[in-house]
Amino acid sequence: MEKDVTQDNIKAGQIIMVESESGSRRLSGKIGVFVSAIAILMSLFQIYTGFVGELAGSKQLSIHLTFAMILCFVYYPGKKNSPRDRMSIPDIILAVLGGGCAFYLFANYSHVVTSVGDAKTYDILIGGALIILVLEATRRSISPMLPIICIIFLLYAYFGPYLPGELAHRGFRVKRIVDHIFMSGEGLWGVPLRVSATFVFLFVLFGAFLDKIGAGLYLINLSFAMMGKYRGGPAKAAVVASCAMGSISGSSIANTVTTGAMTIPLMKKVGFNSATAGAVEVAASTNGQLMPPIMGAAAFIMAEIIGIPYIEIVKAAFIPALLSYVAIFSIVHLEAVKENIRGLTKEETPPFLKTLFSGIHFLIPLALLIWLLLIVRWTPTTAASWSILAGGIVALLNNYLRQVKFFPILVKNNLDSDDPAFLDYRANPDNFFMGRTKQEILDSLETGARNMAGIAVACACCGIIVGVVTLTGLGLKMATLITEAAGGNLMLTLIFSVFACIILGMGLPTTATYIIMAAMTAPAIMTISSDLSLGLPIVAVHLFVFYYGIVADDTPPVGLCAYAAAGISGADPVKTGLKSFRLDLAAFTLPFMFIYNTKLLMINTTFLELCYMIPVCIIGMFCWSVFIQGYWIIKTYFLERIAFLGLAFLLVNPRGISLMALEINQHLVNGLALLTMAAIYLWQKSRRTRLESA
């Protein structure tokens, strides 16, 4: 008999999320207030520069990394048995040293800029210390794997002359390596940290604001109101809620725990087993990083690396993200049909209109962000800053309406409310408005900084790797090696990239995986594309490696999302991860489809083509789901299943296929595919009728 979900299970999942996202240490007393003040100050600094413009040169990066280093050593203990309620003396020393070394660039900016290539001894000592401290901060906050990979790259820079074949280079002394990484703009202070210090922080802070003021809970409740009554309703609500949450948080594990705490128990209640319930949440939450407008830190870094506006990344990612969620939703639906799983009862389902209008004001900041990004075309930094301000105003209005309009009626009629703020109002009705609003804003500022500390040091660590690549020319060497190994074949090169992404992603966060792949394998794909005169858009190539870095996020044995979901559901983490991997298989095929058919990225297409293409592709992804699930009206035969696989590839093809050396018109192909689906539907329906009669 499966283990029931209890509050302990939910708490276990939340602990995994908290320790991964913002550190496991919780400080109280004066020291807690002091550390919280540092975090809040970091957020205020980022908001200020978001409105008035970032500091010149790398000064912005220096202050950003200073805050991040201090917070990492404060919030993330060095060992598993380290105290969680207080800081140790070594942690305090490391926080001071880390912050001081990072602040050195800001304090001595003119000297550093003019001394590149001719660094003094004390520059090298401070730079070397900062590199070591960044590696330690990353080990604590992310995982040991990224620092290990970083150390391997540093060793490669030093021992270049002793390496065989194409990988060999002339080698560099320690002074030259540290000079390049610490003093120039191509190492620690490169693109990854620059994006972290500008775009990424503000979008993470924006997500924290929406979560704290109640937008996350509202989206979850709205998803249940929309989908709860249908067959397998809680699972469908999980997909919709995770899609919505992913669009505002950009974090897989936070998405998993936030929505999973509500959806996983209800999925089990209506009949899903523990592993399936956890897997649905993991797959849906992982794909949240694909959903615009907030696609995680890697998407902002991508825009900087390839030099195109972020809005173009959002535009290109929209259709693949939509198709990915269509596939997961369809698989969930077919699972519910196959297992005859019910939806929520009328009493269990929130009323749709009441739920919609109860918190529609929470959508104002998100709508403003989308409007500023897509219509007004402001920069992501400015758009995010104004959206955060809108979030603060919504918090004010929301708490004002609660105090003036809603809560007094509940108290007068002696009614209860499921709103957590209602308890605060009952405890102190006179000071509820200002007290609650102030607390929500301060919590948002602190949470945003806590969540960003690990991302910032990871970006700095990736900057070290990029610095070694530029110093040694490793990127060009790897492109040559991959091209030669693939024999100039694009498909083989793509497959090599997939394996590299999956292997790296098992131990690294999505952002780190993407940065390494962008430096190592993306140039190889672009080289072969140029040699074959394919003219692949650079955004398609970088989205390709970005997708596989995300899929690796829930791939066993590492996938933290699976462990968090399993902690809530009470299932085995490996089994949960394997099931989520199966649900996520759509994300495995989509990158190959949009590499060969770039219209899926809205490149060189028209509005009318999109109106025709999107519905056809959605039907194609449903065919893919039938292939994965092995069920439609009834359990599919082997040949039927293979037929659905073929139909999926035919329909998710916006320009037709080449068959027996003949160019077949795409409309004819789509028409034949739909006729084939209709024939299989009638065949399966007649089989089911015969079985029911028997």
The reported pLDDT for the residue numbered 673 is 87
* Burial category of 630 from C-beta neighbours within 10 Å (exposed 0-12, middle 13-18, buried 19 and up): middle
pLDDT surpassing 90 at residue 446: yes
| Structural contact between residues 584 and 551, judged by C-beta atoms closer than 8 angstroms | yes
Choice between 319 and 520, residue whose per-residue pLDDT is larger = 319
- State how far the alpha carbon of 555 is from the alpha carbons of 20, 182, 185, 585, in Å: 17, 34, 34, 11
pLDDT band at 670, cuts 50/70/90?
confident
User: What crossing angle do the helices spanning 310-339 and 585-596 adopt, rounded to 10°?
Assistant: 140
661 confidence band (pLDDT: 50, 70, 90)? very low
- The per-residue pLDDT for 249 is 64
Residue-wise pLDDT for 135-152, tens only, equals 999 998 888 888 999 999
> Which sign does the torsion angle of CA 589, 590, 591, 595 carry?
positive
Distance CA 29, CA 617 (A): 57
User: Taking Cα atoms as reference points, which of 190, 188, 202 lies closest to residue 42?
Assistant: 202
Domain boundaries, the chain: 7-183, 605-694
Residue 332 contacts by C-beta under 8 Å, 6 or more apart in sequence? 232, 235, 236, 238, 239, 280, 583
Angle, helices 201-213/363-370, rounded to nearest 10 degrees:
150
- Distance, CA of 255 to CA of 285 (rounded, Å): 5
Confidence of residue 562 (pLDDT cuts 50, 70, 90): confident
pLDDT(660) > 90 = no
Summarize the confidence of residues 378-398 as an average pLDDT. Answer: 90
What pTM was estimated for this model as a whole?
0.84
Please tell me the least confidently modeled range out of 21-25, 204-208, 322-326, 653-657.
653-657
Q: What is the pLDDT of residues 58-103, one digit of tens each?
A: 899 999 999 999 999 999 988 877 777 788 889 999 999 999 999 9
What pLDDT sits at residue 268? 87
H or E element in which residue 524 lies: helix 522-531
CA dihedral 348, 353, 359, 365 (to 10 degrees): 130
**Over residues 536-557, mean pLDDT:** 79
Distances (CA, A) of 134 to 440, 474, 602: 31, 22, 39
Instruction: Kindly give, in sequence order, each residue whose CB lies less than 8 Å from that of residue 384, ignoring residues fewer than 6 positions away.
Output: 50, 199, 202, 203, 205, 206, 369
Token output for 334: 């077919």
Average pLDDT taken over every residue of the chain: 84
pLDDT for 662: 41
Return the minimum-mean-pLDDT range out of 473-477, 508-512, 652-656: 652-656
Q: Quote the percentage of the chain above a pLDDT of 70.
A: 91
The pLDDT, as a whole number, for residue 656 is 42
Residue with tokens 């104004």: 386
> For position 644, what pLDDT does the model report?
92
CB 567 within 8 A of CB 3: no
Lowest mean pLDDT among 127-131, 201-205, 489-493: 489-493
Strands 662-664 and 657-659: antiparallel
pLDDT > 50? residue 657: no
> Which residue, chain included where needed, has tokens 């009952």?
426
